[in-house]
């Protein structure tokens, strides 16, 4: 018997690109419309960018040769060290704060047969911790830095706190999602043999999510070291503060040294973190 | 009233999103009894097992385990009942990242208090439990794997760890949900013997099976079709016609998410020798 494919004579499997249909065509039109509207709103002009290159050329040529004097190198080393310390402590504190909030913000596998009161009792810490994590995460770290600088004064401490709070929000959200995404059958099996919520979490969910959590924390540290470089722009310590001062003094050779050192350190941390994450056993 | 390891289902109904998975199931099992549950994919066998640990919500009926109304128990009482029910699954449902010894020790998880849980989590099981774990692993021939990561074991070895977990738990009721579907014939015999041994020691044994020939080795057979009990008796009473009715319309290539009539094709007689779903050759 002929299959439906051979009935027409020419089997039409189709290529990788979907065939025309009105739905995707409308989506493409909407994307094009949004692109034009955004370019108009932001006065996006490539002609202007490439025709007025004078100031950019002056800025870049002013950076060379970079300032490699002992004093600048010392300032750079101090700035880099402070940035590193801020990013590391920010990620660590963030992870410590994120952990319990993520645990509370993880949905239960099953509440079969539970009374309405029990369900409400379980929902309260879940929604509360999710709300706190959302607040921590939705405020950008530079805004947290402004808040802490106003409250505590200038320096790396408010910057570290800003990174810690934002990291807690990001890590908490990602960890709770990791905890929810682990295979639930081993957890259900534990609950079926009388394990409590804490026991199912400690022996069922956590071991399955631990390598993911470590990987996420390392990645957050990578993000923090990039963020820590700009927190100095609002007076929250780190190498960004030195870059801003040098920019304001038009000391472009020093800016070159500071920016170059920042790029090197960010690349080193990225590579190190990626290598460690690659070795994590799932 | 059923004794310690016995249970009774009275007119039990379970639905998922309005689709019936179990309808009017009435079944009584005494302590120390052993029986096999057979039926096509989607007949409600796994749902029946989940009902016995309150893993799904009931839409009707009553479930009594060890003489207690399972769906009207407090959280604490439910945990106490669940501690007496041991489960073993087709997919093992162990925590893959934990050492074999810890997975086996989790048979006792319901008996640990908060402090005991934390101690076990941080430093491993106490000496008494460790000794029982070692003995249980020795009974399944895995004593040398006590410190190995569970994920590094073969499927058959993992199923033996699951049996060791049961031996540590010493339940009054054993629920085995297709325990031989993913293991080799030698492991099948080994696991089968271990389950029978638990039964001889007094536990009621309920085994969900696709392999009809293996199911015939049990003194009592229960067959489900479309969420209803269609046979309950000895293997001798199970005729070819009855078996045909149990599996009639079963299409192994069609995903059956519910036991409602989905296949309107004329049914073909199924010969016993052909097996039921490709796993009966164990």
**CATH code, domain carrying A187:** 1.10.3720.10
Inter-residue contact A239 to A82 (CB < 8 Å): yes
A238 against B35, higher pLDDT: B35
For residue A97, being part of any structural domain is answered with yes
| 3-class secondary-structure state, position A23 | helix
Cis ω before A65 (30° cut-off from 0): yes
Beta carbons of A192 and B87 less than 8 Å apart: yes
d(CA B17, CA B15): 6
Does pLDDT of B271 surpass 90? no
In chain B, residues with a C-beta closer than 8 Å to the C-beta of A115 are: none
Beta carbons of A193 and B86 less than 8 Å apart: yes
d(CA A191, CA B129): 20
Asked if A1 is an interface residue toward chain B (Cβ–Cβ < 8 A), one would say no
For residue A40, being part of any structural domain is answered with no
For residue A122, being part of any structural domain is answered with yes
Q: Which residues pair with B99 in a beta bridge?
A: B149
Mean pLDDT of A171-194: 92
Beta carbons of B95 and A203 less than 8 Å apart: yes
For residue A39, being part of any structural domain is answered with no
Inter-residue contact B174 to B89 (CB < 8 Å): no
Mean pLDDT of B175-194: 87
Kindly state the percentage of chain A with pLDDT values over 90: 58
For residue A42, being part of any structural domain is answered with no
Q: pLDDT digits over A67-125, tens only?
A: 999 999 999 999 999 999 999 999 999 999 999 999 998 877 566 656 677 778 778 88
Beta carbons of B80 and A194 less than 8 Å apart: yes
What is the pLDDT at residue A113?
Answer: 59
On whether ipTM exceeds 0.90, the answer is: no
For residue A56, being part of any structural domain is answered with no
In chain A, residues with a C-beta closer than 8 Å to the C-beta of B123 are: none
DSSP B141: T
Across the interface, of A110, A185, A203, the residue whose CB is closest to B121 is A203
Segments forming the whole domain that contains residue A87 = 67-279
Inter-residue contact B213 to B185 (CB < 8 Å): no
Q: What are phi and psi of B171, to 5 degrees?
A: -80, 160
In chain B, residues with a C-beta closer than 8 Å to the C-beta of A282 are: 97
Total structural domains in chain A? 1
At residue A1 the predicted structure's pLDDT band, cuts being 50, 70 and 90, is: very low
- Extents of the domains making up chain B: 7-274
What is the pLDDT at residue B282?
Answer: 34
What is the pLDDT at residue B263?
Answer: 42
Does pLDDT of B266 surpass 80? no
For residue A124, being part of any structural domain is answered with yes
What is the pLDDT at residue A90?
Answer: 96
In chain A, residues with a C-beta closer than 8 Å to the C-beta of B109 are: 190, 193-195, 199, 203
Query: A16-25, A93-102, A158-167, B116-125: which range is least confident on average?
Result: A16-25
For residue A245, being part of any structural domain is answered with yes
At residue A204 the predicted structure's pLDDT band, cuts being 50, 70 and 90, is: very high
Which residues of B fall below an 8 Å CB-CB distance to A?
A: 53-58, 70-71, 75, 78-83, 85-87, 89, 91, 93-98, 102, 106-107, 109-112, 114, 117-118, 121, 169, 171
Across the interface, of B85, B96, B114, the residue whose CB is closest to A193 is B85
What is the pLDDT at residue B161?
Answer: 94
Mean pLDDT of B54-70: 92
Q: pLDDT digits over B118-137, tens only?
A: 999 999 999 999 999 999 99
Q: How far is B158 from chain A (nearest CA, A)?
A: 13
Q: What is the pTM of this model?
A: 0.76
Inter-residue contact B210 to B37 (CB < 8 Å): no
Q: How far is B54 from chain A (nearest CA, A)?
A: 6
Does pLDDT of A126 surpass 70? yes
Beta carbons of B97 and A210 less than 8 Å apart: yes
CATH of domain B7-274: 3.40.50.300
Instruction: Select from B171, B233, B160, B246 the least CA-distant residue to B201.
Output: B171
Residues in chain B: 282
* Chain centre distance of CA B273: 26
């Amino acid at each position: 018997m002929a299959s439906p494919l051979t009935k027409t004579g020419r089997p039409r499997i189709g290529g990788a690109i979907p065939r025309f249909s009105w739905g995707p065509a409308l989506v493409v039109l909407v994307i094009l419309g949004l692109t034009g509207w955004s370019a108009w709103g932001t006065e996006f002009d490539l002609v202007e960018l490439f025709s007025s290159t004078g100031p950019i050329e002056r800025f870049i040529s002013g950076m060379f040769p970079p300032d490699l004097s002992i004093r600048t190198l010392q300032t750079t080393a101090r700035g880099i060290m402070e940035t590193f310390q801020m990013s590391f402590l920010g990620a660590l504190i963030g992870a410590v704060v994120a952990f319990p909030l993520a645990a509370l913000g993880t949905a239960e596998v099953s509440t079969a047969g539970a009374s309405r009161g029990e369900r409400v009792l379980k929902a309260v810490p879940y929604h509360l911790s999710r709300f706190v994590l959302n607040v921590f995460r939705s405020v950008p770290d530079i805004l947290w830095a402004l808040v802490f600088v106003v409250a505590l004064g200038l320096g790396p401490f408010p910057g570290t706190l800003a990174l810690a709070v934002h990291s807690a929000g990001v890590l908490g959200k990602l960890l709770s999602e990791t905890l929810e995404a682990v295979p639930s059958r081993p957890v259900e099996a534990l609950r079926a043999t009388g394990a409590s919520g804490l026991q199912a979490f400690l022996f069922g969910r956590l071991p399955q999510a631990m390598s993911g959590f470590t990987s996420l924390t390392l990645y957050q540290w990578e993000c923090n070291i990039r963020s820590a470089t700009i927190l100095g722009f609002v007076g929250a310590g780190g190498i960004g503060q030195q870059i801003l001062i040098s920019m304001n003094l038009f000391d472009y050779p020093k800016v070159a040294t500071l920016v170059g050192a920042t790029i090197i350190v960010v690349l080193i941390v990225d590579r190190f973190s990626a290598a460690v994450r690659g070795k994590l056993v799932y | 009233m059923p004794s310690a390891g016995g249970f009774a289902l009275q007119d039990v109904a379970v639905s998922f999103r309005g689709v019936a998975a179990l309808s009017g199931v009435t079944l009584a099992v005494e302590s120390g009894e052993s029986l096999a549950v057979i039926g096509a994919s989607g007949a409600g066998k796994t749902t029946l097992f989940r009902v016995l640990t309150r893993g799904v919500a009931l839409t009707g009926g009553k479930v009594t385990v060890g003489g207690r109304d399972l769906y009207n128990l407090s959280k604490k009482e439910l945990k106490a009942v669940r501690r007496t029910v041991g489960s073993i699954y087709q997919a093992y449902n162990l925590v893959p990242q934990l050492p074999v010894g810890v997975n086996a020790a989790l048979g006792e998880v319901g008996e640990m208090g908060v402090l005991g849980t934390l101690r076990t989590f941080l430093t491993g099981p106490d000496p008494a439990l460790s000794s029982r774990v070692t003995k249980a692993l020795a009974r399944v021939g895995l004593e040398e794997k006590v410190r190995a990561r569970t994920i590094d074991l073969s499927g058959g070895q993992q199923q033996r760890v699951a049996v060791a977990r049961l031996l540590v738990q010493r339940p009054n009721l054993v629920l085995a949900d297709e325990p031989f579907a993913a293991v080799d014939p030698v492991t099948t015999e080994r696991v089968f013997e271990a389950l029978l041994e638990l039964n001889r020691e007094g536990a009621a044994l309920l085994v969900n099976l696709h392999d009809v020939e293996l199911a015939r080795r049990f003194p009592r057979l229960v067959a489900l079709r479309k969420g209803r009990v269609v046979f309950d008796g000895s293997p001798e009473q199970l005729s070819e016609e009855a078996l045909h009715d149990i599996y009639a319309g079963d299409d192994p290539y069609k995903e059956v998410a519910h036991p409602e009539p989905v296949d309107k094709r004329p049914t073909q007689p199924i010969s016993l020798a052909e097996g039921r779903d490709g796993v009966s050759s164990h």
